[in-house]
Amino acid sequence: MSSQPLIELTDVRFGYGERPVLDGFHLSVPKGQIVAVMGGSGGGKTSLLSLISGRNTAWSGEVNIDGHNMSGLSPKKLYALRSRMGMLFQFGALFTDMSVYDNIAFPYREKTDLPEPIIRDLVLMKLQAVGLRGAAHFMPHELSGGMARRVALARAIALDPMLMMYDEPFTGLDPISVGVVAQLIRKLNQTFGLTSIIVTHDLTESLRIADRVVIISQGKVYRDLSPQEVRESQDSFIRQFADGLPDGPVPFHHVARPYAEQLLSEL
């Protein structure tokens, strides 16, 4: 595994309207690693993916992907770089009027001049990698949730990307499907030499497959730990997040006047 960073964010500031979501954000991801990004809802995890993919531009700071400063790229160069990235959306985002085969063939037909016999072999190869070669002619509505997620994964790796991004890949899946998708992420990362960023709330599966766990809080990287360090941590914020505790450093109650005072004042 290379120690050279594929992804490097330096002092990044980004948000929506006038509200910063990431503020003084630093992250370095070496090539070949799987990094799970975790944190509370609205903490900037999906915004991080949008910056890495070039969908949004940082207000300030630098986002470097494979040595390229994303804010300095021309549209043509940005498009070329993005073509080397794969994205697995939260619910797969398959084309509902296309078969499984045509969903996976789509990137080849759209972005290459390969003849159909070659496309056929490549589609079957990707389906074989996710265990669904026998479902090539199914329509998306005929797939279970886990199967649909695996088809979407096969489509995302169709063009052999250098970087894979996963936005909540385990959401809505049964425990068996979660385990299958998690192991596929690990296997494909090793087989194809990928670098992977997983935005997820599923700590159990993340600790099984990730090389590192990055926890975001208040717009910054709160901790960057190995899975074992997360398991052993006594940090109150990490324990609240890892154990699903309703109250702690992230309070259950939003800031408000004292309850009794507010009740009496409204009588």
> For residue 63, what are the CA distances in angstroms to 6, 73, 103, 222?
11, 11, 31, 19
Domain positions in the chain: 5-84+161-233, 100-160
pLDDT at 92: 65
Identify the residue with better confidence: 123 or 173: 123
pLDDT digits (tens, 9 = 90+) for 225-250: 999 998 888 888 888 777 776 776 76
As a whole number of Å, the end-to-end CA separation of the chain is: 66
Fold category of 5-84+161-233 in CATH: Rossmann fold (3.40.50)
Distance between CA 173 and CA 6 in Å, rounded?
A: 30
Q: Does the pLDDT value for residue 51 go beyond 70?
A: yes
Confidence of residue 224 (pLDDT cuts 50, 70, 90): very high
**Quick check: 136 and 128 in contact, CB under 8 A?**
no
Mean pLDDT of 146-153: 89
Concatenating the DSSP letter of every residue in 55-92 gives SS--SEEEEEETTEEGGG--HHHHHHHHTTEEEE-TT-
pTM to 2 decimals? 0.83
pLDDT at 267: 55
Query: Phi and psi for 88 in degrees, rounded to 5?
Result: -105, 110
Q: Three-state SS for 215?
A: strand
